[in-house]
Amino acid sequence: MFKDLPTKYTAAEVDDFMVESSQIEDVRKLMYEGELRSTYLRKLLKDAGITMELSNSEIAKNLAKKADESSLEDIEKSLDDITLAVVRRRSKQKINSFRKSEEEGLKGINVADGATYITDDMCENLLKQVGSYSKEIKHAFKVLRGETVGGRKYTTKDVREMAAAYELITTTVVGTQKYTAYGFRKQGGLLVPYYNKTALFPLFKSICTGKTAELFDKMKKQHIDMVMFKSAVKVGSQGSQKIDWNNFDSFTFNKYEQEYRYLRKQFNTDPKEKELMAMGT
């Protein structure tokens, strides 16, 4: 049993991290070609009178091969101007989901979808509260924190040891599995209902680099246990903040407290790919 474990954790919200695909020009070509060949195949099947019932016939397979092997120039010549305009519009719509442009209102790709970062301290508290803290886990924390263990001080050069320690900690209870937090928090004299659905990622100074390292240091300095990206907060948002990395030194989290007892791991279900399936969550 561990005494004096905290009953609450301090949380904060930040905007999702949106980026544009670095391969946008390649994506543009692939989307256009895919839409063009699909349209051409539908035209070939329609002209040949091929219905859904005959879609697996030898004739349909030959037409599909023709659509795959024909040059883009020949396909464009075979389609009328209206059809080509539709192809360009559809491919542009698909491409836009990979682009980021404030002028066009395009948000880009959300690379932080539903993610949440927690500090090593909160990770340790979680393990202790669920009864999964052991000598092996304690050793793993010391390794990742760069502490001296048995006369040996671990550093970032001890890559294998740190990788093994992180795997042990994450697979014990945290991992990248989905968690939920469903409850109420007191705020300004009111009870605020909240619902978070997220994947928890524990951070350690020894393995953080770049912007993640800056974020981790800021969390420690401002005593933040958990930083949730906007998409992880389904109900009860206090307002996510946009991180200005150019002025990150002056950034202050808009923080609040939530209780550990409302934090739950989602139930994992096996889809069992059979003719009849039971759905669950």
Reported as a single tens digit per residue, the pLDDT across 217-269 is 999 999 999 999 999 999 999 889 999 889 999 999 999 999 999 988 776 66
Q: How many domains are contained in the chain?
A: 2
Same-domain check for residues 99 and 215 = no
Domain presence at residue 275:
no
Domain boundary among 41, 75, 109: 109
How far, in Å, CA of 196 to CA of 184, rounded? Answer: 11
Domain shared by 38 and 176, yes or no:
no
Q: Which of 88, 109, 130 is the last residue of a domain?
A: 109
Query: Which residue would you say has higher pLDDT here, 154 or 179?
Result: 179
Domain membership of residue 278 (yes or no) is no
Q: Is the pLDDT of residue 176 over 70?
A: no
For position 31, what pLDDT does the model report?
87
- Does position 52 have pLDDT exceeding 70, yes or no? no
Measured distance CA(96)–CA(17) in Å, rounded: 17
Within 10 A of 253 (CB to CB), how many other CB atoms are there? 19
Pair 50, 165 in one domain: no
Let me know whether 180 and 122 are in one domain: yes
Tell me if residue 213 falls in helix, strand or coil.
helix
Q: What is the CA radius of gyration of the chain?
A: 26
8 A C-beta contact, residue 179 and residue 222: no
* DSSP annotation string for 74-125: HHHHHS-HHHHHHHHHHHHHHHHTT-EETTTTEE-EETTTTEEEE-HHHHHH
Tell me: pLDDT of 275 over 60: no
Q: Tell whether 70 and 133 lie within a shared domain.
A: no
- Asked if residue 277 is part of any domain, the answer here is no
Confidence of residue 205 (pLDDT cuts 50, 70, 90): confident
**pLDDT of 112 over the 70 cut:** yes
Q: Is 129 in the same domain as 212? A: yes
Residue 119 shares a structural domain with residue 255: yes
Q: What was the pLDDT predicted at 270?
A: 62
- Choosing from 82, 109, 136, the residue where a domain stops is 109
Position 151 in a domain: yes
**Same-domain status, 149 and 244:** yes
Residue 49 and residue 67 share a domain: yes
Shared-domain flag, residues 118 and 255: yes
How much is the mean pLDDT over the chain?
A: 84
* Higher pLDDT pick, 156 / 148: 148
The DSSP secondary structure of 55-80, one letter per residue, reads TTSHHHHHHHHHHHHS-HHHHHHHS-
**Does 150 map to a domain?**
yes
State if pTM tops 0.85. Answer: no
* pLDDT score at 281: 46
- Please tell me whether residues 209 and 190 are part of one structural domain: yes
Are 97 and 188 members of one domain? no
Could you give the angle at which helices 159-172 and 135-144 cross, rounded to 10 degrees? 130
Q: What pLDDT score does 93 carry?
A: 84
Span between the terminal Cα atoms of the chain, in Å: 32
Q: Is residue 281 in some structural domain?
A: no
How far apart CA 9 and CA 1 sit, in angstroms, is 20
Classify residue 81: in a domain, yes or no. Answer: yes
Q: Which domain holds residue 73?
A: 24-109
The answer to the question of residue 279 being in a domain is no
Give 49 or 104, the one with higher predicted confidence: 49
